[in-house]
Amino acid sequence: MQRNRNKLLNTVKREVLQLRSQSLHNAVIINLVRQQPPQQLKRSWDLEVKVGKRPIFQIPPKVNIMQVFDRMKGKLLLLGNPGGGKTTTLLELARRLVIRTEKDTNTPIPVLLDLSKWKNHNQEISDWLVEQLKFKYNIPKKVTREWLENQQLLPLIDGLDRVSPELSEHYLESINKFSIDFQPKHLVVCSSFTTYKNCHNKLRVNAAVLLQPLTNSQIKDYLFVARSRELWNYIEEEPELLNLAKTPLMLSMMTLAYEEILIAAWRRITSKEGREKYLLNAYIRYQLGGETNYKWYSRNQEPLPEQTRRWLAWLAKQMAAENIQEFRIEKLQSSWLDANGEVQTYQLIINLISVLFWGFTFGFIFTLVWKLKAGLISGAIGGLIGGRFGLPGVKNLVLRIVLFSNGHIPWNYRRFLNYASSRLLLQRIGDRYQFIHHLLYKHFTEM
């Protein structure tokens, strides 16, 4: 049992470190403020806490999320706007919890869970959690069930705002039932303000932590520390741009992509959605044009920016169609093929290879054992069998050949996905990939 505990804790630790190192806030720090490690920086946004029917009170800047967690006995709801720092705050809490758990073997193990990955809605949340620990961390299901029953897991749940309103209600009800049935010592759930406010069901937790939009002075301080005084001078008198900068995600993108932004053109955009889209495009241009410490391609062999955009847009659309947030190369689906010819080409190649392989194999064996005539007959029979049952292991290869030949993916797909991760367009967690933020994921689906 201790071996599995250490295995899970080490894997969660790596996951948290990977996600934090691939965040936009961390990119700002590395690129612009190299002398100050990111973990020593204070959070940019204010935290407010709501406990029951008592008045909301603000948390002083020196108080971190771990202290709030302890004060509220480890049962929290994190609420904020999209791009408002919820996941960043959750990862900071996870980092501190991992450190504590390494020192105290009696402390529940924190595990990161995403509700948008819960596909079987008739399933109990405890069963889904068991499956997730098997899938993500390769922990035996029996072990996870024992941990649940003994209150040795600390679920950190994100993704409530990435499911439909009907499912949000169902998931909140399921989490409450889980709390009653298993009585976990600690539980943290993340959601957007709007999603949670519109739900009839409410979580049974000790407090809600509200992540507030950045104030003008916080924006100014952030940009000055990040050596972006000129950007502040441009936006301080522009209410619409300043309002956009109140979202931490957008502020980080502004700071990174400033060289790609034409302020005069940006000012003329009248809608909030248009300004966000302009900024996201500027961020993509910046990330594809700058230097990177990771050399996944030889000099002058990197994909062209247009190719990268096209390949990522295709991936985002397929993921959206399948309603998935993470992607693994091994999980490429034939359903991702275009019905206009690609499916037929794929099936034809599969059948041809199978017929040739099984026909040759049967024919060769029977020719050696009996005679040529028997071999030819057996070869024909083998070909028919191959056409009917196919050839194990060849389908994924053929699928990738068809997708490559139609321009949907590059030949070395894993290298490209790692390259896109180094460009902070994707995040890589082990052998899984996801877009660095849901807003960027949605933007690519609309390209």
In a domain, 297, yes or no: no
pLDDT band of residue 353 (cuts 50, 70, 90) is low
User: Mean pLDDT across the chain, nearest whole number?
Assistant: 84
Do both 244 and 355 map to the same domain?
A: no
Report the pLDDT averaged over residues 211-229. 87
Least confident interval from 26-30, 111-115, 209-213, 242-246: 26-30
Q: What is the pLDDT of residue 110?
A: 96
Are 194 and 171 in a shared domain?
yes
What percent of the chain lies above the pLDDT cut of 70?
86
In tens, the pLDDT along 6-21 reads 999 999 999 999 898 8
pLDDT at residue 37 is higher than 80:
no
- Mean pLDDT of the 82-90 span: 90
Q: Average pLDDT for residues 372-381, to the nearest whole number?
A: 45
Is 174 inside a domain boundary? yes
Specify if 165 maps to a domain. yes
* Alpha-carbon span 97 to 99, nearest angstrom: 5
Please tell me whether residues 151 and 76 are part of one structural domain.
yes
Query: Which pLDDT score is estimated for 121?
Result: 80
pLDDT of residue 166: 84
In this prediction the pTM is 0.82
Q: Residue 122 — pLDDT band, cuts 50, 70, 90?
A: confident
Q: State residue 164's pLDDT score.
A: 85
Distance, in Å, from the CA atom of 420 to the CA atom of 297, rounded to the nearest integer, reads 11
Do 206 and 223 reside in the same domain of the chain? no
Q: Give the HSE-up count for residue 70: Cα atoms under 13 Å, Cβ half-sphere.
A: 8
99 and 155 inside one domain: yes
What does the pLDDT look like over 280-313, one tens digit per residue? Answer: 999 999 999 877 666 788 877 889 999 999 999 9
Q: How many CB atoms lie within 10 A of CB 413?
A: 17
The percent of residues in the chain predicted with pLDDT above 90, rounded, is 47
Structure tokens at 20: 């934090």
Is 371 a residue whose pLDDT tops 60? no
Residue pair 177/125 in contact by the 8 Å Cβ criterion: yes
Give me the phi and psi of 269, to 5 degrees please: -75, 130
pLDDT at 40: 41
In this predicted structure, what is the pLDDT of residue 391?
A: 53
Reduced to 3 states (helix: H, G, I; strand: E, B; else coil), residue 213 is coil
Same domain, residue pair 166 and 192: yes
Is 26 within the bounds of a domain? yes
Q: Report the length, in residues, of the chain.
A: 447
On whether residue 294 sits in a domain, the answer given is no
If asked whether residues 128 and 19 sit together in one domain, one would say: yes
**What per-residue confidence (pLDDT) applies to 355?**
55
- Shared domain for 252 and 319, answered yes or no, is no
Q: Is pLDDT of 356 > 60?
A: no
CA distance 140 to 7: 11
Using the predicted structure, report yes or no on whether residue 318 has a pLDDT greater than 70.
Answer: yes
339 confidence band (pLDDT: 50, 70, 90): confident
Q: Is the pLDDT of residue 50 over 90?
A: no
Residue 140 DSSP code: -
Range scoring the smallest mean pLDDT among 157-161, 269-273, 297-301, 370-374: 370-374
| Residue-wise pLDDT tens digits, 134-189 | 988 999 999 999 999 999 999 999 999 888 888 899 999 999 999 999 999 999 99
Q: Is residue 164 part of a domain?
A: yes
Same domain? For 94 and 26 the reply is yes
Residues 13 and 151 in one domain: yes
Tally of domains within the chain? 4
Are residues 176 and 31 part of one domain?
A: yes
Q: Is residue 427 part of a domain?
A: yes
* 313 and 441 inside one domain: yes
Q: Find the domain containing 159 and state its range.
A: 2-211
In this predicted structure, what is the pLDDT of residue 357?
Answer: 55
